Chain A
Amino acid sequence: MLDNTQVERLEAEAVNSAKVRQPLYAARKKVFPKRASGSFRQFKWLVMAITLGIYYLTPWLRWDRGPFAPDQAVLLDVANRRFYFFFIEIWPQEFYYVAGLLVMAGVGLFLITSTVGRAWCGYTCPQTVWVDLFLVVERAIEGDRNARMKLDAGPWTARKLVLRVSKHAIWLVIGAATGGAWIFYFADAPTLAGELFTGAAAPIAYITVAVLTATTYTFGGLMREQVCTYMCPWPRIQAAMLDETSLTVTYNDWRGEPRSRHAKKVLAAGQPVGDCVDCNACVAVCPMGIDIRDGQQLECITCALCIDACDSVMDKLGREHGLISYATLSDYNANMMLATAGGSGSVNPSLVRTADGLFSDKVAHFHIRKIFRPRTYVYMALWSLIGLGLLYSLLTRDRLEVNVLHDRNPQFVTLSDGSIRNGYTVKLLNMIPEPRTIVVTLQGLEGAEMSVVGIDQPAGRSVPISVEPDRLKMLKVFVRQPAGQIQGTAQTFKFRAEDRASFESDEYTATFNAPEIAR
């Protein structure tokens, strides 16, 4: 029945297995992940292409905003304190949009983790993606697992030196490209690229590239899985987010145990034997160097490469896929109860199968329905509410604002005709990349008139001001009210700013101070 002669048995040992538990401060054992192939590996290539593509190409996308704003689609213009994201332009005081997006990312992560476990870690985390990329380079130069292990253990020869130098050189180039792409988000990419290569860019650009080259090279090339295990807080937090209906990469003992390398002999002896042929393929491909058959553990980033490795072995054996699979803890527990006859004995895989070798109907399988449960509803609702809230405020936000600062010293000035004058600093914010004429009008404050310093126009209740595109214009405004019309020591009135072309407007309620007895 079990023909495992075609299966290559690998001498792979987990760096930290249940049998040989390493102390926390043990020296690192090198991990030499073997190349895996299968549907999850395919999916991971795709995710890698998309995430790296987004990262490297985004700064080069163009977006026409007219002659008064940069044409880079995504630009963090720190010098001018503007953030451009396609059709959205954000001023510093609108930074709450970014905060909102971060909250959405957080809730989204909760949702993803509670349904498909540490998918972020396994597929999209930059650490995972870049380590994957660095491993591609390592495999291309030094060969797959066995060749690399041999090279590592062997003496320093000219060949080893050449291989190692070229590997690290390419890693450094990737690191530099990573750091290089980062700075393009902060300045006009084509201009900066030219400056960067002619040595004309700002020192901070070179420093940023150097620092990111160093971190990329160190984290992606040298430290790899140690970053996830020792440095990253996510494994701890995300593990706490899992529950018994979350999908995680699971070794299904209920069909795998008792594992045996000599199934035929064991069967002949009348002992039960599971699907696992102990070929260690799952250990050999693991980038974290663990043995998934010890159960779900902190180090596991759920990259699912062990599923691919195991499935290809199962193909050769003619068994069903999924000895290692995405499964929930509740399904796993139910199947274990089945295989151990209610937990009374050790695993007997014949209990989960019918007489003709197929899985019995009682075996629990994951169903998409299980994703929908109160907890995930709450996350979905929260996520969508925040998203809709942000969208609403984005669509209805003001692109014209007026802010007023009342002079405090002096609060008021008595003029020779007895009228009272108050001074204000009026700030007009034109938040679109087009020049506008904004009409500032006084509302309330009977009989009062205003004059604007630097604007050559007779005093009146309404003054048109031209404001440059995407700029704040600060005006010094004097408001003067005749003696006879002053009502009290503090009257409120409004400054109204209006763009008569677009009908946008904003108002600011200000105070007009007068002395106790105004004559």
Chain B
Amino acid sequence: MSTEHIDDVSGISTTGHEWDGIRELNNPLPRWWVITFYITIAWAIGYTIAYPAWPMLSSATRGLLGYSSRIDVKNELAAAELAKGKYVAAIQSKTVSEIAADDALREFAVAAGGATFKVNCVQCHGSGAQGSKGFPNLNDDDWLWGGKADQVQQTITHGIRFASDPDTRISEMPAFGDIITSEQIMQVSAYVASLSGKVQDASLIEPGAKVFAENCVACHGANAKGNREFGAPDLTDAIWLYGSGEAAIAAQVRTPKHGVMPAWIDRLGETKVKELAVYVHSLGGGE
């Protein structure tokens, strides 16, 4: 150690180091700074005693206050459940039509149903419920099985052509490729297409109407307006689940495709199904 060096100008001792003739004064730290520093140390010790801190072999010290962020989350979730409780109870006790008619309740159900929809339904129906080929658009006013809130609830609860639910909505259009000739399929497709638009060969329409009357009216009705009892689509409107135009219609007549939707009651429970029904009903096409 070198001997103590005192700075000539200030009269304060230096640290003893020298860089190019420059020496650093050995001023004490400001008192307030030192005190603050000791307070932080004391605080840190107190903090690690009061709160979970020290890692042990399998867990960590719990702290005297018994604080845990998991308990916080649990309490917050419980508080949220409690806040929702009023609405949930009302939804449980009322029918979907009653819920849809009550402004506050509908608002809650639409928000809750929307969240459920985003998790469970968007895979097939799309994030805006706009559907795609083979998967119905839920925004429009065309309903295969009925567009009243309770009908939608029934559909969601038991699904469509869902084998393991005995109450599921079920229907099956035969594959007419095995029943009528290809020519008849061409004719009936032209007839069906003509109901809502123009066709290339108008001469096919009249024999097509005959084929339709012989084979299709049982389900689709004499005026081709469909029948919701069997989920038979209205063939006179602008909405086509499997594509519009003669070719798409012919394909569906020859070997029909049938969509399947699972029953959601076991997975979601009645409250969420009701909320979903109100949500779907609110999208603009509800009856």
Instruction: Give the interface of A toward B (CB within 8 A).
Output: 407-410, 413-418, 421, 423, 453-454, 476, 478, 483, 519
Instruction: Report B239 CB to chain A, min CB distance, Å.
Output: 5
**Interface assignment of B140: CB less than 8 Å from any CB of chain A:** yes
Chain A residues whose CB sits within 8 angstroms of the CB of B130 once the complex forms: 409-410, 413
Partner of B238, one of A407, A416, A476: A416
Structural contact, B284 and A478, CB atoms closer than 8 A:
yes
CA distance A407 to B237 in the complex (A): 24
A417 to B234, CA, bound (A): 11
> Which residue of chain B lies nearest to A407 when distances are taken between CB atoms in the complex?
B128
Inter-subunit contact A414/B140 (CB<8 Å): yes
Distance between Cα atoms of A408 and B129 in the complex (Å) = 12
Contact B140 A423 (CB under 8 A): no
Contact residues of B between 93 and 120, Cβ < 8 Å to A: 103, 106
B141 touching A454 by the CB < 8 A rule? no
Known interface pairs A423-B284, A453-B282, A478-B284. Does A416 touch B128 (Cβ–Cβ under 8 Å)?
A: no
> With A409-B130, A453-B282 in contact, is A417–B238 under 8 Å at CB?
yes
Find out whether the CB atom of A416 lies under 8 angstroms from the CB atom of B139: no
In the assembled complex, the Cα of A408 lies from the Cα of B106 at a distance in Å of 22
| B239 and A416 contact, CB distance less than 8 A | yes
Bound together, the chains give a CA A416 to CA B130 distance in angstroms of: 14
A-B pairs with beta carbons under 8 Å apart, 27 shown: A407-B128, A409-B127, A410-B126, A410-B128, A410-B129, A410-B139, A413-B139, A413-B285, A414-B238, A414-B239, A415-B141, A415-B239, A416-B237, A416-B238, A416-B239, A417-B237, A417-B238, A421-B139, A421-B140, A423-B139, A453-B282, A454-B106, A476-B282, A478-B284, A483-B238, A519-B196, A519-B197
Interface pair B284/A413, CB less than 8 Å apart: yes
Instruction: Name the prevailing secondary structure of the A interface residues.
Output: loop
Q: How far is the CB of A127 from chain B (nearest CB, A)?
A: 21
Find out whether the CB atom of A416 lies under 8 angstroms from the CB atom of B197. no
Q: Are B284 and A421 in contact (CB under 8 A)?
A: yes
Residues of B206-245 at the interface with A, using a CB-CB cut-off of 8 Å, are 234, 237-239
CB distance from A480 to the nearest CB of B (A): 9
Given A410-B130, A423-B284, A519-B238, do A416 and B142 touch, yes or no (CB 8 Å)?
yes
Please give, as numbers and ranges, the residues of chain B lying within 8 Å of A423 by CB-CB distance. Answer: 139, 284
Binding site for A on B (CB under 8 A): 103, 106, 126-130, 137, 139-142, 196-197, 234, 237-239, 282, 284-285
Which chain B residues border A421 with CB–CB below 8 Å?
Answer: 139-140, 284
Residues in A neighbouring B237, C-beta threshold 8 A: 416-418
Contact between chains at A413 and B127 (CB < 8 Å): no
Q: A416-B237, A417-B238, A421-B284 are in contact. Are A454 and B140 (CB under 8 A)?
A: no
Interface centre among B128, B234, B282 (most CB of A within 10 A): B128
Known: A415-B141, A423-B139. 4 other contacts (CB 8 A): A407-B128, A408-B128, A415-B239, A416-B142
Closest to A451 in B: B284
Shortest Cβ distance from residue B144 to the other chain A in the assembled complex, whole angstroms: 12
A407–B128 alpha-carbon span in the complex (Å): 9
Q: For residue B142, which residues in chain A have a CB less than 8 angstroms away from its CB?
A: 415-416
**B196 proximity list for chain A (CB < 8 A):** 418, 519
Contact (Cβ within 8 A) A454 B284:
no
Question: In this complex, what residue of B is CB-closest to A420?
Answer: B238
Q: How far is the CA of A423 from the CA of B126 in the complex (A)?
A: 17
Let me know if A415 and B238 touch, CB within 8 A.
yes
Q: Which A residue's beta carbon lies closest to that of B237?
A: A416
Contact A416 B141 (CB under 8 A): yes
Q: A409-B130, A519-B197 are in contact. Are A418 and B238 (CB under 8 A)?
A: yes
9 closest A-B pairs by CB: A409-B128, A416-B237, A410-B130, A418-B238, A413-B139, A416-B142, A410-B128, A413-B140, A478-B284
Complex: how many Å from CA A415 to CA B240?
A: 11
Chain B residue nearest in CB terms to A480: B284
Across-interface contacts of A407 in B (CB, < 8 A): 128
Q: Is the CB of B103 within 8 A of A454?
A: yes
Distance, CA A415 to CA B285, complexed state (A): 9
**A483 proximity list for chain B (CB < 8 A):** 238
Distance in angstroms between the alpha carbons of A247 and B103 in the assembled complex? 67
Residue of A nearest to B234 (CB): A416
A383→B282 CA distance, assembly (Å): 54
Residue of A nearest to B284 (CB): A478
Name the residue in B106, B129, B239 with the highest tally of chain A Cβ atoms < 10 Å from its Cβ. Answer: B239
* Given A410-B128, A483-B238, A416 and B140 contact (CB-CB distance below 8 Å): yes
Which residues of A lie under 8 Å from residue B238 when comparing CB positions?
Answer: 414-418, 483, 519
A454, B140: Cα distance in complex, Å: 18
**A415: chain B residues within 8 A (beta carbon):** 140-142, 238-239, 285
Who on chain A is nearest to B244 by CB?
A: A519
Measured CA separation A407–B139 after assembly (Å): 12
Name the distance in Å between A476's Cβ and chain B's nearest Cβ. Answer: 8
Q: Which residues of the other chain, A, contact B141 by a CB distance below 8 angstroms?
A: 415-416
- A contact residues around B129 at 8 Å (CB): 410
Whole-angstrom distance from the CB of B173 to the nearest CB of chain A?
20
Q: How far is the CA of A270 from the CA of B285 in the complex (A)?
A: 110
> How far is it, in angstroms, between the C-alpha of A91 and the C-alpha of B123 when the chains are bound?
41
What A residues does B103 contact at CB under 8 A? 454
Smallest Cβ distance from A21 to chain B, in angstroms? 15
Smallest beta-carbon distance B235→chain A, Å: 11
CA distance A414 to B141 in the complex (A): 9
